[in-house]
Amino acid sequence: MSEAKPQGTMFGHPKGLFLLFTTELWERFSYYAMRAILVLYLVDKVQSDQAGGGLGWTEADALSLYGTFTGLVYLTPLIGGWLADNVLGQRKAIYIGGFLMAAGQFALAAPHSWMPGLETTMFYIGLGTLILGNGLFKPNISTMVGDLYPAGDHRRDGAFTIFYMGINIGAALSGFIVAWAYTSFGHEVVIDGQSVFINNWQAGFFCAGVGMIISLIIQFFFAQKLLGDIGTVPAAKLEQSKNAAEGNTRKEPLTKVERDRIKVIMVMGLFTIIFWAGFEQAGGLMNLFTNNFTDRMIGSWEVPTTYFQSLNAIFIVVFAPVIASIWIKLGKNEPNSPIKFALGLFLLAVGFLFMMGAVLEMGGDASVKSSMWWLVGAYFFHTMGELCLSPIGLSMVTKLAPLRIASLMMGAWFLFIAAANKIGGLVGSLIGHGGAVEEQLANAMAIFAGIAITATISAIILYLMSDKLVDWMHGAESKHDTEEQALEEEIAVTAEHEAIKR
């Protein structure tokens, strides 16, 4: 981080904040547009010599790969963050990462007719390039938001709130725009005497690539003017040089208090695996259920499957301030962090009760479609659970981790989330390898019920452990001076988590 700071403000914040807001909005649009159609593309068995069609994978294989992909999305930022801190600097890491992500999206968008017989190979190249680019981009754009403000600047909390709005606007737009792309550029063909509409998934990936290019162009043309030298020098190198000059190189052993606090992080990490393994069914199993088993008709118009992928982002924008206000209004009765975490797990279970209701409505008959309102209810309760649990996880690490190993503990937290995504993919893959539709429905019911039961039992266990966990925190949960200060901090914590999670 350089001492040279950018000039100029807008609405009381540095103009660079709104540059990063816009850059991240389009990058998150790109990522979530691709994520919304990834599984749908893999399982689409209709292939065409023209544009469109999928790879024809089984649902189980597609969901397993989806879990691997989303797991690596959380794992590679550990490497990308280290490279930015020690070698590249944040700005250069963002440029390289953004370029790789755009290249990955366009590789996925390459029509099958361009590479007969090599469709799957090109898919893996695109996905791998996308993962590497994400690792460089994801951890560094959020860090630069904090670098806009000097230590102790009260505007920093509000800045993350603004930034997280950009994240969720991009995520919300993605489901709608990618649906327009793959349907508008699709076409009808006659197969065995029947007219079949082929979705142009490549157009969707191309749309995602365009979003990434827009993000890069904005950053390239305005970064130096609005950010100054922020992110141009590897931060850790400067910090290490400063510590060496001051002779501050000793490594102190962990105290008992620090060890207890680390135990809390580890315990909460195990429960966060359970939550995210269930929550991430949204882009996998629930996405397939929406596509195959849900009545999406409103009059004569069929709601595109990917529209439902935007519900989480919309609900977050609307309800994050509401949830934060509720905690503050409770005052002395506000639950402690482990209990909030347990509540998040319980709300996840409630969401899957709605998914069980959707299956029960079908009565085992695959020709009967379930109401889309079951899905809306599931996504709503999952988002409420996320708002109870996710900000707490980030806050826990920042409050409890010893300062000298804070980055290591945050890395460990990312590992928990990476493991959760992979486990979530494996759980979703239990729907089966292309068996009878009725069998898939029965398997889906078992998966939804299993997650609901596991989340409920986990919530009860965590609730019973909460007092002990609070003891191990050794007073880390502090009270606030004013209701306004507490509300501002609660929303800001949610914003910082969204910056990391998304």
What average pLDDT score do residues 474-484 get? 62
106 or 225, which is more confident?
106
Please say whether the beta carbons of 499 and 163 come within 8 A.
yes
Taking 80 as the threshold, does the pLDDT of residue 11 lie above it? no
Asked whether the predicted pLDDT for residue 355 surpasses 50, the reply is: yes
pLDDT for position 397: 78
pLDDT above 70: percentage of residues in the chain: 86
Contact status, residue 162 vs residue 13, Cβ threshold 8 Å: yes
Residue 404: partners with Cβ closer than 8 Å, 6 or more residues away = 251, 252
- Terminal Cα-to-Cα distance of the chain (whole angstroms): 24
Residue 232 in this model has a pLDDT that exceeds 90: no
Token digits for 376?
């809306």
413 pLDDT band (50/70/90 cuts)? confident
Residue 435: predicted pLDDT: 74
Q: In the structure, what pLDDT confidence band is assigned to residue 31 with cuts at 50, 70 and 90?
A: very high
Confidence grade of residue 146 (pLDDT, cut at 50, 70, 90): confident
Among the residue ranges 93-97, 241-245, 273-277, the one predicted with the least confidence is 241-245
Q: How confident is the model at residue 148 (pLDDT cuts 50, 70, 90)?
A: confident
Q: Which of 242-256, 334-348, 428-442 has the lowest average pLDDT?
A: 242-256
Question: Could you give the percent of the chain with pLDDT greater than 90?
Answer: 52
Q: What's the pTM value of the predicted model, to 2 decimals? A: 0.87
What are the pLDDT digits (tens) for 163-172? 878 888 999 9
Query: What pLDDT is attached to residue 385?
Result: 95
Say if residue 412's pLDDT is above 90.
no
Is the pLDDT at 50 greater than 60, yes or no?
no
Q: Which residue has the higher pLDDT, 489 or 65?
A: 65
Q: How far apart are alpha carbons 122 and 110 in whole angstroms?
A: 8
For residue range 64-77, what is the model confidence (pLDDT) as tens digits? 999 999 999 989 98
For residue 190, is pLDDT > 80? no
* Per-residue pLDDT at 36: 94
What pLDDT band is residue 384 in, cutting at 50, 70 and 90? very high
Q: pLDDT tens across 16-26, in order?
A: 888 988 998 99
Residue 155 pLDDT > 90, yes or no?
Answer: no
Radius of gyration in angstroms for the set of CA atoms belonging to the chain, rounded to a whole number: 23
For CA atoms 178, 444, 131, 133, the dihedral sign is positive
Q: What pLDDT shows up at residue 255?
A: 87
At CA 421, angle to CA 102 and CA 271, rounded to 5? Answer: 140
Distance CA 412, CA 400 (A): 13
Strand partners, 196: 189
* pLDDT over threshold 50, residue 1: no
The residues, ordered by sequence, that sit 6+ positions from 376 with a Cβ below 8 Å of its Cβ are 308, 311
